[in-house]
Structure 1
């Protein structure tokens, strides 16, 4: 199969040409694959800063910070509309282990059908290993869950970092960023990443509102998940470049 240089799309660069099953040539969906999305880059910088601050704070104390107590008590005192607890419970479920596992399996299966082997493997491995790291950190920090307000949903185990915030960031940001590597349309890539960020943000906020996590638990989860997604984005882009394509 001969390789050639494709024409730029949207001024973003060129892609290699590959053969279809009918013998015609088309462009591989790798446009913009090596360029870090600005939104993800910005989130990564924020995440690094938060990690540094939280690590420094935990070096002196594992107890909740003053802003943790103020936010969680203030959120419960505010209460909000009558429907908010139910909506928050539904949103928080989107960051649960069962839902995230189902999503990863469905997406990875679809990618395998499309013969996007590298993206499928990265999707599964990023989610699996991210969960292991979170469990390990919880076992080291051993921070208790909030007890200032009644919990509006059941939650067990240790509090730091928030498993829902971390896992949702790992899964949704990884899916959005990896999908962007095989999606040539710039608007589609931005849409996927913005939706992922909003979803991850809503899930993390719901954990605080429901009273089952300190805000710093959620901040740590967001930070770790963002950096994890960035790491897998980088590794996958480099692997794809090294092997000359997705398949």
Structure 2
């Protein structure tokens, strides 16, 4: 079968662009972590935290009275309980669509990302900010932000995997866009509530996005090799990997 050279070139250029983007995200995280450990980001972090509080009364956020309630509700979307529930529902969705291998790959991707985040927190061992009072209870270490990292890993990874269930561009773009907005909102609330430095959140975002990007590239390769299900045929049925008759 002849291969369309233009299509092949587009795929190669797309893969290169994704690779460069992923490398840039990882490099950004490494650079940020280095600056953080050297104390270069401390003044910036403290300035942002204090700018979000009422002058002379750091126990209260600037802005309307309902802002703290909204921030508390949104930040819960990045907690372990909600992320676990969302992951289980998304995996159930894939299973109901008959996408067994894709569901299994999603489990490995989300669990792998969570383990990575846990190990990095222990590696950097950064204490929580004390410049302003915490508006929600926290007990773990600070860098990278677990809510920012884990929400990026879970929501972006699930969005990438679920988007791969559709053939139309609109559904794919909408699915990923919703996940991106959700991740950004969760990260911002961690700074608003005073439980993370801004650089904690930036670190979580960059690393989480890099992980989700890696998952998307690997899934793309596996689909092309027919090792996981391809996008649906428009009738809600997954294109299953071909059966290996030599097995």
Cα offset for 1:106? Answer: 1.0
Classify 1:208/1:43 alpha carbon distance in 2 versus 1 (closer, same or farther; 3 Å).
Answer: farther
Q: Which runs of 5+ in 2 are unaligned?
A: 2-6, 55-60, 230-239, 241-247
- CA-to-partner distance for each residue in 1:180-214, whole Å, 9 max, x for gaps? 22211111111111111111000000000000000
Structure 2 length-normalised TM = 0.79
Cα offset for 1:53? Answer: 2.4
Q: Which residue of 2 aligns with 1:229?
A: 212
CA separation in 2, counterparts of 1:135 and 1:245?
28
Q: Which residue of 2 aligns with 1:194?
A: 177
- CA-to-partner distance for each residue in 1:37-69, whole Å, 9 max, x for gaps? x9x8897476345314213314534x8521101
Count residues in correspondence. 216
Task: Decide which moves more: 69-78 or 200-209.
Answer: 69-78
2:75 matches 1:89: no
CA separation in 2, counterparts of 1:245 and 1:122?
8
What are the equivalent positions in structure 2 for 1:111-190 lying under 5 Å apart? 111-190=94-173
Q: Which residue of 1 aligns with 2:28?
A: 50
From 216, 230, 233, give the equivalent of 2:199.
216
2:81 matches 1:98: yes
Contact 2:102–2:228 (Cα < 8 Å) also in 1:
no
Classify 1:84/1:46 alpha carbon distance in 2 versus 1 (closer, same or farther; 3 Å).
Answer: farther
Task: Decide which moves more: 126-135 or 158-167.
Answer: 126-135
Coordinate RMSD, CA, aligned: 2.7
Contact 1:118–1:240 (Cα < 8 Å) also in 2:
no
CA separation in 2, counterparts of 1:55 and 1:181?
32
CA separation in 1, counterparts of 2:20 and 2:62?
32
Contact 1:44–1:223 (Cα < 8 Å) also in 2:
no
Structure 1 length-normalised TM = 0.79
CA separation in 2, counterparts of 1:126 and 1:175?
9
Q: Which residue of 2 aligns with 1:242?
A: 225
- CA-to-partner distance for each residue in 1:74-120, whole Å, 9 max, x for gaps? 11236111000000000000000000100111110121121112321
